[in-house]
Amino acid sequence: MQDSDFVERVRAVSGHLAKVPRRVRLVEVGPRDGLQNESVVLPTEVKARYISLLSEAGFSEIEITSFVSPKRVPALADAEALCGQLRFSSGVRYTGLVPNRRGLERALAAGVRSVAVLAAASETFSQRNIGMGVREALEEIRAVCREAQQEGVRVRGYVSTAFYCPYEGRISPLQVRSVVEALLEIGVAEVSLADTIGHAVPTDVVELLEVLAPILPWERVALHFHDTWGLALANVLTGLELGIATFDAASGGAGGCPFAPGAAGNVATEDLLVLLQGMGIETGVVLEKVVEASRYLESHLGKLLPGRYLRAIGS
Amino acid sequence: MQDSDFVERVRAVSGHLAKVPRRVRLVEVGPRDGLQNESVVLPTEVKARYISLLSEAGFSEIEITSFVSPKRVPALADAEALCGQLRFSSGVRYTGLVPNRRGLERALAAGVRSVAVLAAASETFSQRNIGMGVREALEEIRAVCREAQQEGVRVRGYVSTAFYCPYEGRISPLQVRSVVEALLEIGVAEVSLADTIGHAVPTDVVELLEVLAPILPWERVALHFHDTWGLALANVLTGLELGIATFDAASGGAGGCPFAPGAAGNVATEDLLVLLQGMGIETGVVLEKVVEASRYLESHLGKLLPGRYLRAIGS
């Protein structure tokens, strides 16, 4: 590279970064993805208070729990009781994960008006995580979505193992595309592409989006990174460069998936906020309030959460 | 953004990422930057063995110690003894930090053939870190550099607080440029731009390089990130996009600066390697060997290092 090429290249990257979204929507998944793997089963009122602190922080969407079998995920066995205790703030979408029609019925009965469904891109992961193959899971999702739509309930669709699978390794973008196509045809409002085990790098993100962009409108894409190897923020940066404006995160970096060996927690909301704020990107979320929620969670989990910002500012 | 714009944008980012350097040079600074702040003073033979393990990992440059006053940095008081115990491998550049002419003389006497000097972009940080103002420090560096060049010894120049200062906050890129100009005029071989406290974000990196690119050839730039808030890899990604191909890192993420309150360790070499390897970028460094060196260091420090990859793979 010539010196003049360097000047030009820096200018190009600068112009490029100037085009990242000026406002980003954060989906706080701490109460669900962050807690589902916890061996400490928190009292329902603690979860309700945690969610209330997150609501005060300014998130427009919080994933509050999962209406999954209590035997499979004991930490979230109190989904109905939790909904009973929550004070739903207007302007906040409270989403419940529903693995199937039974889960949807429970969620609706509990007053939930926004649900998330889960499809895997990896056949093996799908079998081990939800006991169904990918096609079978999509048929269940179709039934869930039909019923939800009749009730006027929004459906968000996760694609787990969208980059790597703990059993199958790298997942082909074409394989992901067929799942995304099915979800769009079924009618989900938004597709959250999840790096379940946190092994993806920025080139993986771009390769996947190259395959998806022709079928998936940018405003229906969310990115969901786990921070196992510390790669999440680099991937978020690439997502921003692609123009993507919805990111999932968990306060304090809570989490890890019980069915994904070696997976660590979600990217910490605080770390993501530090990146976005530093880049001048608005979120409507107040960092100090998120820290307050994380500290509250830590005090009840009886352990420190791994988020870098949270650890750096001291206990 | 229209759907067609999204497709185009993804394609542009893809083309853009395809131009990142195919090969990157890593400067392993663990033995100096990683250890200088340690309260545990390691035995000299442990340091020698740590450096030997790092040499086996394939680094072309390792910063082994600092010829600073033993009173100021007790952890590195054994610089001469360490050099006496090292087996210098050919193909590895062993660099010693020298704060002044006295340090250079000690380094030369100890057989060191590559030195690093340190200038700060922040006046306050310079005063508190080395007890000299920026201009005075640059005059000392000029004298060091003249003497080193007479001896045929390579000089690398750090610019600390190149983005943020713990006392002054954001540092203007123009202020950094004046220090870089001075270092280039003095004749340093390479300029390592250090985010001493780890608060920089990708837009800061681009803004600084926009100001520096016209005077600083890309092959003479190194980037040195601390991972206080987990932002380092996102900044590295931006550096790669700019075409920069030299990055400093410390095995295991060891470190923190005694004179920079709130600063955490350097970006962990393992985490940086996982990013680079995932993106298909060569370094010549073997990840497992770096892990071996970090594990060895942990066993002698009696504590775990913070690197994300190191922690994720278990103890």
**CB count in 10 Å sphere of residue A195:** 28
- What is the Cα B248 distance to its own chain's centre? 4
Instruction: List alpha helices for chain B, DSSP H.
Output: 3-17, 44-57, 79-85, 101-109, 123-130, 134-150, 173-186, 202-212, 232-241, 269-278, 287-301, 308-312
CA distance A100 to A143: 8
With a cut of 80, say whether residue B258 has pLDDT above it.
no
- The catalytic site residues of A sit at 257
**Residue B228 at interface with chain A, using a CB cutoff of 8 Å:** yes
Set of chain A residues whose Cβ sits within 8 Å of the Cβ of B1: 218-219, 243
With a cut of 60, say whether residue B16 has pLDDT above it.
yes
In a domain, B15, yes or no: no
pLDDT in tens, A177-236: 999 999 999 999 999 999 999 999 999 999 999 999 999 999 999 999 999 999 999 999
Contacts of A315 (CB under 8 A, 6+ apart): A304
Most B CBs within 10 Å: which of A229, A269, A271, A305, as the mutation test of the B interface? A229
Contacts of B59 (CB under 8 A, 6+ apart): B26, B27, B28, B92, B284, B285
Q: Which two tokens stand for residue A232?
A: 């999440």
In a domain, A12, yes or no: no
Which residue's structure tokens are 């900044």?
B235
Give the total residue count for chain B. Answer: 315
> What is the value of ipTM here, to two decimals?
0.96
pLDDT in tens, B151-202: 999 999 999 999 999 999 999 999 999 999 999 999 999 999 999 999 999 9
pLDDT in tens, A81-116: 999 999 999 999 999 999 999 999 999 999 999 999
Phi and psi torsions of A161, nearest 5°: 45, 45
Which among A79, A123, A124, A122 has a CA at the least distance from the CA of A99? A79
Let me know if A93 is exposed, middle or buried by CB neighbors in 10 A (0-12, 13-18, 19+). middle
Using the CB atoms, write b or e for B161-192: b if 16+ within 10 Å. Answer: bbbbbbeeeebebebbbebbebbeebebebbb
The predicted structure's pLDDT at residue B315: 55
pLDDT in tens, B103-160: 999 999 999 999 999 999 999 999 998 889 999 999 999 999 999 999 999 999 999 9
The predicted structure's pLDDT at residue B262: 55
**Residue A264 at interface with chain B, using a CB cutoff of 8 Å:** yes
In a domain, A48, yes or no: yes
Asked whether the beta carbons of B97 and B110 are under 8 A apart, the reply is no
In a domain, A213, yes or no: yes
Most A CBs within 10 Å: which of B2, B8, B9, B191, as the mutation test of the A interface? B9
CA distance B16 to B8: 12
pLDDT in tens, A238-277: 999 999 999 999 999 998 654 455 568 999 999 999 999 9
In a domain, B206, yes or no: yes
Asked whether the beta carbons of A258 and B302 are under 8 A apart, the reply is no
With a cut of 50, say whether residue B17 has pLDDT above it.
yes
How confident is the model over A113-134, as a mean pLDDT? 96
pLDDT in tens, B63-86: 999 999 999 899 999 999 999 999
Q: Could you say which DSSP state residue B267 is in?
A: P
Strands (E), A216-276: 221-225, 246-249
Asked whether the beta carbons of A220 and A263 are under 8 A apart, the reply is no
The predicted structure's pLDDT at residue B256: 61
Which among A148, A79, A76 has a CA at the least distance from the CA of A113? A148
In a domain, B284, yes or no: yes
Q: How far is B278 from chain A (nearest CA, A)?
A: 6
The predicted structure's pLDDT at residue B99: 95
Cβ contacts from A onto B, under 8 A: 161
Half-sphere exposure (Cβ direction) of B232: Cα atoms closer than 13 Å:
36
The predicted structure's pLDDT at residue A38: 85
Nearest CA in chain B to A263: B312
In a domain, B3, yes or no: no
The predicted structure's pLDDT at residue A256: 61
Asked whether the beta carbons of B145 and B177 are under 8 A apart, the reply is no
CATH number at residue B302: 3.20.20.70
pLDDT in tens, A45-87: 999 999 999 999 999 999 999 999 999 899 999 999 999 999 9
Q: How many domains does chain B have?
A: 1
The predicted structure's pLDDT at residue B261: 53
Name the percent of chain B lying above pLDDT 70.
97
With a cut of 50, say whether residue B214 has pLDDT above it.
yes
Asked whether the beta carbons of B27 and B246 are under 8 A apart, the reply is yes
**Residue A234 at interface with chain B, using a CB cutoff of 8 Å:** yes
How confident is the model over A126-154, as a mean pLDDT? 96
Give the total residue count for chain A. Answer: 315
The answer to whether the Cβ–Cβ distance between B278 and A312 falls below 8 Å is: no
The partner residue sitting opposite A230, judged by closest CB among B11, B206, B230, is B230
The predicted structure's pLDDT at residue A258: 44
The predicted structure's pLDDT at residue A261: 52
Q: Could you say which DSSP state residue B228 is in?
A: T
Domain that holds residue A102: 24-312
**Residue A287 at interface with chain B, using a CB cutoff of 8 Å:** no
More reliable by pLDDT, A315 or A220: A220
In a domain, B254, yes or no: yes
Set of chain B residues whose Cβ sits within 8 Å of the Cβ of A220: none
